[in-house]
Structure 1
Amino acid sequence: MSSISLQRQQHPIPGQPLWQRVPTRDESGRALPDFMMLIPKIGSWPEIRREQAINELRSVFARFEQRVVFADLNLKLNLLWITLRPTPDGCLSLVEAITAVVPEAKLVASQYEAMLGWSEGGSRRSRVRCGWFGQHVLGRPGKP
């Protein structure tokens, strides 16, 4: 099995693509935010270690069951996808709880990155776009 549902109430249909399973709106029609975390090589971890990590993730999602709407771990892609109800702190507390139990988990993309600000370095394209303003006002590296 390459994809594992990490919540009790979910019953995935084998072979159904993620984009068809992920909820995008809540009961009242509001958009639901989501984010991804990469867990490098979890698919090739020893069975005992992998099951331990999966159980730890399930316990985290049980603690956040009022917020987490959908959680899926794709072992083939080493990717954890989470959809949650919007809250003022975004996904910060959930990301911290996940990395506390599975330190290998790395945030891939979300509003969380925007909340933390632009990381040092960044891509060449973003450095060039920032130019003088980014270098002198924001204290970010300028053109290479």
Structure 2
Amino acid sequence: LEMFFDASQQHDDALVKSVEKLFASCVPTQASHDQKKDSPPWVLFRWGSLTAFLAYISAVQVRYTLFTAGGLPIRAVCTVTLEEIAGEAPRQNPTSGGIVPRREHVVVHGDTLAGIAYAEYGDTSLWRAVAVV
């Protein structure tokens, strides 16, 4: 995505501040760092009413094209690389996302906790663990 910045009417540091904001948006936020999931801030890219998607800015390149007599940049072209943030995939069936059982045991009349412990773990002394489950 190319962005054109023109501050030729202002002759101040507004363009520099705008470009610095773009570069800052590539840095992981403190909140994401605290959660040990470093991620730059998310942005919502909107192109009129046609397109909108959630993304993060992964790279910024800037080319300054016009300067004041004092050397202050007042015109620039920025190339911004956006990476779309994938939404949650739709579930395929009603049980999607549920806990996947490792194994099962059907309790029938006459079963005891010690008997189930022996059948499942080979040790009758583990009946308390079965009782918790």
- Report if TM-score (shorter chain) is over 0.5: no
Between Structure 1 and Structure 2, which shows a larger proportion of helix residues?
1
Structure of higher CA gyration radius:
2
Q: Calculate the TM-score normalised by the size of structure 2.
A: 0.29
RCO higher in structure (CA 8 A, sep ≥6): 1
